[in-house]
Amino acid sequence: MSEQKEKLVQAVKESAQEGRLSCTAARKIAAEFKVPPKAVGEICDELKIRIKACELGCF
């Protein structure tokens, strides 16, 4: 796993609460790491973390 992906996974884990991550937080993480929102969505899928309150249908 690349170092950036490891940092991305860690950011998702730290932001998720009770196995859920808000859409706003997911998009913020994507912007911070300069990756498409889909990449954050794929990480969430791998970690069994659900996106909640999706605003734009990105996930």
Q: What is the pLDDT of residues 1-37, one digit of tens each?
A: 799 999 999 999 999 999 999 999 999 999 999 999 9
User: What pLDDT is attached to residue 56?
Assistant: 66
User: What's the structural domain count of the chain?
Assistant: 1
Q: Residue 57 falls within a domain, yes or no?
A: no
For position 32, what pLDDT does the model report?
97
Give 54 or 59, the one with higher predicted confidence. Answer: 54
CB within 8 Å of 18: residues ≥ 6 apart: none
pTM assigned to the model: 0.86
Query: What is the span of the domain harbouring residue 10?
Result: 3-52
58 domain residue, yes or no: no
10 found inside a domain: yes
Compute how many other C-beta atoms are within 10 angstroms of the C-beta atom of residue 16.
20
Assess if residue 28 is contained within a domain: yes
57 has pLDDT over 80: no
* Whether the predicted pLDDT of 59 surpasses 80: no
Comparing CA positions, the residue from 45, 57, 14, 5 lying closest to residue 25 is: 14
At which residue do the structure tokens 């973390």 appear? 49
